[in-house]
Amino acid sequence: MHKHRGFPSRLPGTDYQFTIRRENPRGATPLKARARYKDRSPADTTADVNFLACLVQHFGDEPFMRGNLDAGRLSWLLDREVVAAEDPFDPASYDALLRINRPVAEKSFPDAFDESQWID
């Protein structure tokens, strides 16, 4: 499993996880797109914005490996702001390639592209 060095492990001051520490011996948790409803808590939306901002800051428009990025956090963005960068895509692989769908991401979470909001 590829570890993304320098990527924040969680949203500061919360328990919202962005990365995992070690590989699951039974295999990677499969990614699957999760529906976001309007009644989600503001804290959940803040976590989404900050996670996407970290992705933008670290990877930009380049494809990136799933590696140690948290499956649950990625699943909230999957098939909208984050899409598969390879065909066929294996949602249960740590080596799966993803990329940011910039037009959709900018429309959904414009604050994620504001560099003054980025986590150091």
Quote the domain boundaries for residue 9. 1-120
Domain count of the fold of the chain = 1
| pTM listed for this prediction | 0.90
- Per-residue pLDDT reduced to its tens digit, 13-58: 888 999 988 888 888 999 999 999 988 899 899 999 999 999 999 9
Burial annotation 48-78 (CB, 10 A radius, 16+ → b, else e): bbbbbbbbbbbbeeeebbbbbbbbebbbbbb
pLDDT band at 119 (very low <50, low <70, confident <90, very high): low
Query: Per-residue pLDDT averaged across 72-87, rounded?
Result: 95
CA separation for the pair 81, 108 (Å, rounded): 8
**Is residue 116 scored above 90 in pLDDT?**
no
